[in-house]
Amino acid sequence: MSTPTAINASISVKKELVTAEKRRNPPGPNEPIPFGRIPSNHMFVCDFVPEKGGWQPPEIVPYHNFDFSPIAVVFHYGQEIFEGMKAYRPENTGSKSFYLFRPEQNAQRMYNSALRLGMEPVPVNLFLKAVEELVKVDAEWIPDAPGSLYIRPTLIPLDEGVSYRASTAYRFFVCLTPARNYYSKETGVSVYIEREIVRAAPGGTGATKCGGNYAAALPGLNKAKKLGAEQVLWLDAINHRYVEEVGAMNIMFVYEDCIVTPPLSGTILPGVTRSSIIELARSLGYTVKEERIDINQAIADAQSGKLKEVFGCGTAAVISPVDAFMDADRTIAINNREIGKVSTHLKNALMDIQFGKAKDPFGWRKTVEF
Give residue-wise pLDDT tens across range 288-326: 999 999 999 999 999 999 999 999 999 998 999 999 999
Q: What is the mean pLDDT of residues 44-62?
A: 98
Q: Evaluate if residue 2 carries a pLDDT over 60.
A: no
Q: Evaluate if residue 331 carries a pLDDT over 80.
A: yes
Q: How far is CA 144 from CA 53, 87, 344, in A?
A: 42, 11, 21
Are both 104 and 34 inside the same structural domain? yes
Are both 68 and 196 inside the same structural domain? no
Could you tell me what percent of the chain has a pLDDT over 90? 91
Q: Decide which of 256 and 81 is more confident.
A: 81
Q: Residue 362: inside a domain, yes or no? A: no
Q: Residue 185: its pLDDT value, please? A: 54
* CA atoms of 136 and 158, how far apart (whole Å): 28
Are both 226 and 150 inside the same structural domain? no
Are both 143 and 203 inside the same structural domain? no
List pLDDT tens digits, range 96-108: 999 999 999 999 9
Q: Residue 180: its pLDDT value, please? A: 87
Are both 108 and 205 inside the same structural domain? no
Half-sphere exposure of 96 (CA within 13 A, CB side): 3
Q: 260-264: long-range contacts at Cβ-Cβ below 8 A with a sequence spacing of 24 or more?
A: 260/288, 260/289, 260/290, 260/291, 260/293, 261/288, 261/289, 261/290, 261/293, 262/290, 262/291, 262/292, 262/293, 263/290, 263/291, 263/292, 264/207, 264/290
Q: Is 235 exposed, middle or buried (0-12, 13-18, 19+ CB in 10 A)?
A: buried
Q: Residue 4: inside a domain, yes or no? A: no
- Last residue within a domain, chosen from 132, 157, 179: 179
Are both 291 and 336 inside the same structural domain? yes
Mention every residue, 6+ apart, whose C-beta is less than 8 A from residue 166: 79, 118, 119, 157
Rounded to a whole number of angstroms, the CA Rg of the chain reads: 21
Mean pLDDT for the chain overall? 94
Q: Evaluate if residue 6 carries a pLDDT over 90.
A: no
Report which residue type is found at 32. P
Q: Residue 80: inside a domain, yes or no? A: yes
Q: Residue 364: inside a domain, yes or no? A: no
Q: What is the mean pLDDT of residues 206-213?
A: 97
**Strand, coil or helix: what is 95?**
coil
Are both 211 and 338 inside the same structural domain? yes
Q: Residue 33: inside a domain, yes or no? A: yes
pLDDT band at 128 (very low <50, low <70, confident <90, very high): very high
Q: Residue 359: inside a domain, yes or no? A: no
pLDDT band at 368 (very low <50, low <70, confident <90, very high): very high
Q: What is the CATH classification number for the domain harbouring 53?
A: 3.30.470.10
pLDDT band at 1 (very low <50, low <70, confident <90, very high): very low
Q: What is the CATH classification number for the domain harbouring 349?
A: 3.20.10.10
Are both 154 and 235 inside the same structural domain? no
Q: Evaluate if residue 359 carries a pLDDT over 70.
A: yes
Report which residue type is found at 313. C
* CA atoms of 140 and 24, how far apart (whole Å): 11
- pTM score above 0.85: yes
Are both 155 and 105 inside the same structural domain? yes
Q: What is the mean pLDDT of residues 50-57?
A: 97
Are both 141 and 97 inside the same structural domain? yes
Q: Residue 210: inside a domain, yes or no? A: yes
Are both 159 and 290 inside the same structural domain? no
- Last residue within a domain, chosen from 179, 200, 220: 179
Range of the domain at 310: 189-354
Q: Residue 245: inside a domain, yes or no? A: yes
Are both 204 and 289 inside the same structural domain? yes
**Number of separate domains in the chain:** 2
List pLDDT tens digits, range 259-270: 999 999 999 999
* CA atoms of 221 and 307, how far apart (whole Å): 25
- Last residue within a domain, chosen from 127, 159, 179: 179
pLDDT band at 360 (very low <50, low <70, confident <90, very high): very high
Q: Residue 105: its pLDDT value, please? A: 98
Q: What is the mean pLDDT of residues 53-66?
A: 98
Q: Residue 183: its pLDDT value, please? A: 55
